[in-house]
């Protein structure tokens, strides 16, 4: 369940990052895919670090940690994809 929360929040984070950073915006589909990848990675990394819930439960702290990790991870991967794509276009 935590992975699903991370993936969904990653997709949202990727699209929000694309809206904020217009020069890195890749369109809704690529923003979402990048966000999903980043959200999955970000949520798993936070889980391995033990942040948000010791036993991986679905308490409010764990859910908020997954949402934050997914959103940040999604935005980060979108930024990387955008920079690489812009560099390749030159």
- State the Cα–Cα distance between residues 55 and 21, nearest whole angstrom: 36
CA dist 82 and 34 (Å) reads 10
Segment 65-84 mean pLDDT: 86
Of all helices (H) and strands (E), which one includes residue 6? helix 2-20
d(CA 80, CA 33) in angstroms, rounded, equals 13
pLDDT of residue 53: 52
On average, the pLDDT of the chain sits at 82
CB 56 within 8 A of CB 5: no
- pLDDT tens for 20-58 read 988 888 889 998 999 899 888 887 777 777 665 545 566
Q: What are phi and psi of 49, to 5 degrees?
A: -80, -10
């Amino acid at each position: 369940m935590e992975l699903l929360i991370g993936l969904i929040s990653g997709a949202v984070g990727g699209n929000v990052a694309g809206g904020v950073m217009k020069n890195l915006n890749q369109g809704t589909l690529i923003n979402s895919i990048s966000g999903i990848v980043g959200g999955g990675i970000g949520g798993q990394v936070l889980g391995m670090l033990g942040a948000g819930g010791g036993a991986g439960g679905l308490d409010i702290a764990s859910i908020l940690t997954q949402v934050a990790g997914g959103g940040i991870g999604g935005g980060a991967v979108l930024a990387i994809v955008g920079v690489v794509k812009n560099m390749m276009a030159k």
